[in-house]
Chains A and B, each alone.
Chain A
Amino acid sequence: MIKKISLTLTAFCITIICFAQDNSGEFHGDFDLNMQSYQEDELIGAKAADEIILNNAYLNINYTKGNFAAGLRYESYLNALLDFDDDYKGNGIPFRYATYKIDGLEVTAGNYYEQIGSGLIFRSYENKGLGQDNAMDGVRLKYSPLKGVYLKTFIGKNRTYFTYADGIIRGADAEVNINEALNFESKTKIIVGQGFVSRFQADINPKFKLPQNVAAYSSRLNIINGGWNYSGEYAIKLNDPIGSLTAEGNNYANGNALMSSLTYSQRGFGIIAEMHRVDHMEFRSERAKEKQYIINYIPTLTKQHTYTLLALYPCATQPEGEFGTQVDVFYKIKKGSLLGGKYGTKITFNFSNIRGLEKGIKYDIDNNEVVEISNSFKNDYNDFTPKFFSKNGELFFRDINLEVYKKINKKIKATGILAKQSYNKDVLEGKTPGTYGTVESTIAIADISYKIKKGHTIRIELQELLADGGEGSWSMGLVEYTISPHWFFAVQDMYNWGNHDVEKQLHYVNINCGFLSGSNRFAIGYGKKRAGIFCVGGVCKEVPSSNGFSLTISSSF
């Protein structure tokens, strides 16, 4: 392994030296360091780390010269922060690539990130916050044989921590911009796309017949006409049992997913109506149902909130089955009108409703019992497909929220949000049904920023969440002082005053300050974090509670 890495490094360095000789290429890079100390705090359940301090660091270096580019990323986990999987351990160069482009053909060898359509059948990406990185290692070709036609094919294995999964992933995608390809001038623009992915993994199961090549297809369509925009995608994944030795473990049903979105927008007004239906659609680089193997992505159908208490109970997409709808309306009340005032007022209304697919009954031969299921399931004893419209499915998540943003005068800006959320804690956090039930919460946010003088701004956030279930009610306050362009200071307190357990009616205080200078950013903080769920785009992870100091440094060149 070390030998391999050093060989790669040597090759990379030689490449760089060769190209660097004529001094015309360019180097760019960025660096991130996140260090955190962990002290024990029994009340919030925070554990001390044996190492006292944990550290994650990344360095990206990219070299480009004309049509050629190469780069690598060094990653260091000594040891990984507690909210990371501890399989991220040690140092390494898990990402390196070289790519060039000539006459419409782009060749990439090494690591790459790739996505087909919106990701329903394939998405290889990284998100450091989520500890997610399923980069591919292999070869990718992109080719545009004629105007408006974009082709790509790739093959590789996907990264799981510091190793690669067993399965070999092959993919292809074609996208055609009809107007460009047919030289067809029209107000209506049409783009179609067709993607395909197949995974090979040998069948070693002595009891069950397993498909060795598991395929997934997706077709997509995008129509644009003036302010209207329709986009839709439909995906099918063929039989993909997990390779268990028990009948209940092996689900041979096809999976499918449909997403559809219609947008209308004009100056000062916009509306988006969206739906998606997902059924047994988790696609992995190995049969085994483990999160590090997931290679597809189902975009969430709920608003991604940034305010802490609005995002306290976030919606995690359920790839095994859900039916969701969302409406988002944006309206700007004109300047000078009664409600608009001098600067106008922006109003955003958002409603989302996510339900499970309607349930059916399955006979479980291994356990000799009848159980309820809500996704397509097929084995020697069952063949169940849920109804398409599942309006009576179990409620997973619902969010109704209204946001008003107003610039009051040259110095004051204010945002107010009211929201009502329902959060099915059992389903969304993978607990046994009936453990926690659904948390119903009402949330109010006020965010006011005031410009004291040139370069000095103070911002105050007041947040309130009222709930009976879950951890009960919360209040939060934040004061942030920014002296641009160099400094910021922030103090925040989250107070769980409504916790049913009196001992857990705690304050979570955090103090942060940061210094920015040119391309460098330094921030230090101290405080307590609650255990919770952290999500990005519907992909979620549980984070443990913690108590300690943090230091982050980011820099780029």
Chain B
Amino acid sequence: MKNIITLFSFIIVITSCDVVEGPYLIDDGGITPADTSSNTYVKKVLIEDFTGHTCPNCPAAARELEAIHDVYGDQIIGMALHVTTGFASPWTGAGKFEYDFRTKWGTDWDNFFGISNAGLPRGMVNRTGYPNDHKLGKNEWLAAVITELEKEFDFGISITTTISGGNGSITVNTELLNDVNGNYNLVVCLTESNIINWQKDGQSDIENYEHNHVLRTVLTDEELSTSSSYTLGDEIETPITINLSALEQYNIDYSANTAINGNGNAGGWDAANMSVVAYIYDNTTKEIVQVQDAHLMNE
């Protein structure tokens, strides 16, 4: 009998656990977002949220992204990529979900990184963890963001734009903050926010859902420099000329001719709600080492 008691007490000893009492929300999380308004560079993090307008669980991921942005401020840059035939192709004659948010680049990246294969919503945080640990569920984003924000960074990016009447130029300036060796690519894309259109959210079809930072187009994805050796203080200027209606037409044609079940209903861009997102990634690891965004139009 003594033995049995000993054994049970042995069990009890290791039954340590935490029971948390409410309120569960900590008012002040103790996080002060870095000041992104000054001229000094800060590390920023890109969260690519692979989603679809008829994916019922996807808005929860968009809210998680928003909540991360609320805590860490403008150090977090979001991008929504509508992908897959099942969740993102437009419906026909239903009076809803008739818009095609898909892009060639979203589909290409989805295929390359295998994101939707693992089920939506899912995303990448600075594309870290490739090739085995990069497809993150929404509740894995926070931990990845924290790790990313603590990393040292070697690049600073600044963006200037001059646009009028849908034409103009974007200049991305990359400044080296350390000596660096490696092969890096620079990607510049346009995203659009405040797009009001249909979205499935759980059991409801929401007509006036606000789609934010939706990937619209990729302007460049090329080597940052032909050299693989960078020196502290180097500045690399990448000028890009754009014609918004031509870019818009490209998506319309993509939707009409290439995308599975597409319908060409991919236009209606509003330059006033667009942002430029520029990021540099390591060509070997695919990891995004720095990212920056700016409004397309200077108010």
Contacts and interface: CB of A to CB of B under 8 A. Distances in A.
B202 interface: yes
Interface in B2-49: 3-4, 7-8, 10-11, 14-20, 22-26, 29-31
B142 A204 contact: yes
B94 to A, nearest CB: 13
B298 interface: no
A212 interface: yes
Nearest to B203: A433
Contacts of A366: 63, 67
Q: How large is the interface on B (under 10, 10 to 19, 20 to 34, 35 or more residues)?
A: 35 or more
Contacts of B4: 149, 176, 181
Interface string B203-221: 1000000000000000000
Contacts of A70: none
Interface in B137-159: 137-140, 142-143, 146
A174 B4 CA distance: 10
A82 to B, nearest CB: 10
A245 B142 contact: yes
Contacts of B200: 432
B132 A204 contact: no
Contacts of B31: 206
A242 B15 contact: no
B25 A244 contact: no
Nearest to A242: B139
Given A151-B7, A211-B20, A379-B24, A196 B137 contact: no
A196 B7 CA distance: 13
Interface of B: 3-4, 7-8, 10-11, 14-20, 22-26, 29-31, 56, 60, 63-64, 67-68, 70-71, 114, 117-118, 131-133, 135, 137-140, 142-143, 146, 200-203
A289 B139 contact: yes
Nearest to B55: A432
Top 6 A-B pairs, shortest CB-CB distance: A215-B17, A206-B29, A245-B67, A288-B139, A211-B18, A432-B56
A288 B137 contact: yes
A174 B18 contact: no
A241 B24 CA distance: 10
A172 to B, nearest CB: 5
Given A206-B30, A245-B71, A367-B201, A252 B22 contact: yes
Contact of B19 (A176, A181, A239): A239
A249 B60 contact: yes
A207 B67 contact: yes
A153 B146 CA distance: 34
A172 B14 contact: yes
B25 A172 contact: no
A208 B26 contact: yes
Interface string A378-395: 111000000000000000
Nearest to A214: B17
A384 B19 CA distance: 18
Contacts of B146: 204
Given A244-B138, A366-B63, A434 B3 contact: no
A41 B246 CA distance: 36
B132 to A, nearest CB: 6
Interface of A: 85-87, 89, 145-146, 149, 151, 153, 161-163, 166, 170, 172, 174, 176, 181, 194, 196, 198, 204-215, 217, 238-239, 241-250, 252, 286-290, 366-367, 371, 378-380, 432-434
B67 A174 contact: no
Given A245-B71, A249-B139, A209 B17 contact: no
A434 B203 contact: yes
A153 B11 CA distance: 9
Nearest to B8: A174
A366 B66 CA distance: 11
A211 B26 contact: no
Nearest to B65: A245
A49 to B, nearest CB: 13
Contacts of B143: 166, 204
Nearest to B27: A207
Given A163-B133, A288-B140, A209 B203 contact: no
Contact of B24 (A172, A287, A380): A380
A85, A204, A206, A242: most-surrounded residue (chain B CB, <10 A): A206
A85 B16 contact: no
A194 B10 CA distance: 12
Contacts of B201: 367
B20 A252 contact: yes
A434 B54 CA distance: 14
Nearest to A176: B4
Given A181-B4, A207-B67, A252-B24, A170 B139 contact: no
Nearest to A85: B118
Given A207-B67, A246-B64, A367-B201, A174 B22 contact: no
B163 to A, nearest CB: 34
B132 A196 contact: no
Contacts of A85: 117-118
Contacts of B18: 211-214, 239
B131 A207 contact: no
A429 B7 CA distance: 44
B64 A86 contact: no
A250 B142 CA distance: 14
Contacts of B132: 87, 89, 161-163
Contacts of B26: 206-209
Nearest to B6: A145
B24 A209 contact: yes
A512 B199 CA distance: 46
A170 B11 CA distance: 12
A204 B64 CA distance: 15
Contact of A247 (B25, B71, B203): B25
Contact of A196 (B11, B29, B67, B202): B11
A358 to B, nearest CB: 17
